[in-house]
Amino acid sequence: MLRTEAFPAVILIAALSGAGCTTRPPPAEAGRPFDFQRDSLAYSNQLYWSYDFSDPDTVEMRPAPDTAPEGGHRCATMARAVRQFFRAARFDPDAARVSDEEYRRLVRSVLGSDPRRREPAQPPSVIPGYPGLRSFSRDHHEIIDAELGGAVGTYLQRGNWRMIFPFAPRQNRAAVEEWLTQLERGQLPVVRIVNFPIIDVNHTLVLYAAEESSLEVRFLAFDPNDANTPLALVFQRAGASFHYPPTSYFRGGTVQAYEIYDGFFF
Amino acid sequence: MASSSRRWRATAALLAATCLGCWTGRIFEAGRVREQVIDFRGAALGRDSLRLDYTVELSGRGTAPGRRAERAASMSLAALSAEPAYPVDAFPLERISSGSPLEGARPIPILDAAAVPEAQHAALPSGPATDPWLLRLENSASGHELLRLCPGDGAACVGQLYSAALYRDHTAWWVYPLLPLGVAVDIALLPFQFVTTAPFFLLGD
């Protein structure tokens, strides 16, 4: 035990170093890190609405002018695709590019893999001519879209049932620990954020990194609605609550979060 | 009989349409009471521990606005100075009775850094008798309230505690008698939920 008199001498140096962010060391079996500029999709899920949050109490929604009928409501399938390409594909930038038909076959193979498996596929599908999903999806947006299917994959995602039920603080804490463990192993949790039954957000993210501090855990996320900007889903430890920043489609604030494409029921 | 059955179904459908979500969960959420520190009333330093007396504001959907309560907690000095710092939701502290004394502890002052300029800290009286320690209350770089244990002579502080570490929540007692009712309603309305949640997917993005 520390005596009060000896207290400063014993702990001064340790205390002066502060309480900054910490990062857990990766375990031995960790996979390669996710690179947002290489491993994410280059295009965004289209929005059916444009939102005006200037009034603090109400949101004004107008139909977005340029959205194709089949262009939106695909956040879940797009998030799933990012995870599947990361897990089940290997890009070979030095190999010669192949025909669209061959690329279609490869995309179908990747997206046909089990989205609930977390470990890298062995052997992965090798996609020639590109360094990563981002550059590939920039050139072959239509192929990926066609193989992803429409909004039905989001509507009927089997984990949707979970949003009806409550989220206890201890469940949130357990989920955060689970996601941190997955990220340490190079796996990508796919997370649904909702405020059910309030219809202000119902969205899906791919978590790819985390920063921990005493007060919070910041999960960096690929947001299918904004393919160009990594966003942070923040877990505040004190209240065991999740917060998502303002975006073009969400005012920002508290959300509930849970993992999907995870096990038989999700 | 048939008319009664129709009325029941209509009522259930109306409830489901207007009250989406799990009723059991709603009851739990309404009964969740959150405690956030709004004021520190006193501190006492023992041989190897610190005692804090503070006031919390209680909040929650089923809690009357503005309710307050007095709380006290003790924690080891080693925990205050741990490196890396404990996560606030895992900080090792013991909640103690607000009126109970901490053996061998002597009161130390709590200094609000926002109210006293930095240059005046060293000149402040540092507590009863000649206690060389004080608690500095300040805002961290991230804007969170932070208590720092510092020598009274202005030297570097040696321990810290985010007030968020004193946050607590619990479930109000009246939730539990209502649970059977909530579960019964949920069982009755669950089939409707799957229909009435459709707008949740179709509206918005």
pLDDT in tens, B68-127: 999 999 999 999 998 888 999 999 998 888 777 766 778 888 888 777 655 455 444 444
Cβ contacts of A72 on chain B, cutoff 8 Å: 205
Contact A15 B83 (CB under 8 A): yes
Cβ contacts of B61 on chain A, cutoff 8 Å: none
Contact B164 A11 (CB under 8 A): no
Whole-angstrom distance, CA of residue B122 vs CA of residue B185: 63
Domain assignment of residue B205, yes or no = no
* Residue B178 domain boundaries: 1-31+173-195
Question: What pLDDT was estimated at residue B68?
Answer: 94
Cβ pair A221, A174 in contact under 8 A = no
Its ipTM equals 0.74
Cβ pair B86, A214 in contact under 8 A = yes
Q: Say whether both B99 and B151 belong to one domain.
A: yes
Percent pLDDT > 90 in chain A is 55
Q: Say whether both B74 and B160 belong to one domain.
A: yes
Q: Say whether both B57 and B152 belong to one domain.
A: yes
Phi and psi torsions of B81, nearest 5°: -105, 10
pLDDT in tens, A10-66: 333 333 333 344 555 455 455 788 999 999 999 998 888 888 888 888 888 888 877
Distances in Å between the Cα of B47 and the Cα atoms of A92, B91, B169 are: 64, 19, 30
Q: pTM of the entire structure?
A: 0.80
Q: Say whether both B42 and B137 belong to one domain.
A: yes
Q: Say whether both B44 and B54 belong to one domain.
A: yes
Cβ pair B135, B43 in contact under 8 A = yes
Q: What is the dihedral of CA B102, B105, B106, B110, to 10 degrees?
A: -70
Q: Say whether both B110 and B180 belong to one domain.
A: no
A11 touches B at CB < 8 Å: yes
Q: Say whether both B6 and B89 belong to one domain.
A: no
What per-residue string of b and e applies to B118-144 under the rule 16 or more CB within 10 Å gives b? eeebeeeebbeeebbbbbbbeeeeeeb
Domain assignment of residue B200, yes or no = no
Cβ pair A188, A82 in contact under 8 A = yes
pLDDT in tens, A216-248: 999 999 999 999 999 999 999 999 999 999 998
Question: What pLDDT was estimated at residue B192?
Answer: 76
Q: Say whether both B65 and B123 belong to one domain.
A: yes
pLDDT above 90 (res A206): yes
- For A153, residues 6+ apart whose C-beta sits below 8 A from its C-beta are A74, A76, A77, A80
Contact A15 B200 (CB under 8 A): no
pLDDT in tens, B16-37: 555 667 888 888 888 999 999 9
Q: Say whether both B71 and B49 belong to one domain.
A: yes
Counting the structural domains of chain B, the total is: 2
Question: What pLDDT was estimated at residue A10?
Answer: 34
Q: Which of B105, B38, B42 is nearest to B72 (CA)?
A: B42
Q: Say whether both B133 and B182 belong to one domain.
A: no
Q: Say whether both B57 and B103 belong to one domain.
A: yes
Query: Exposed, middle or buried: residue A191 (CB in 10 Å: 0-12, 13-18, 19+)?
Result: buried
Domain assignment of residue B201, yes or no = no
Cβ contacts of B82 on chain A, cutoff 8 Å: 14
Q: Which two tokens stand for residue B155?
A: 């030297």
Nearest-by-CA chain B residue for A75: B205
Q: Which of A185, A228, A236, A240 is nearest to A208 (CA)?
A: A185
Q: Residue A218, SS3? A: strand
Q: Say whether both B60 and B5 belong to one domain.
A: no
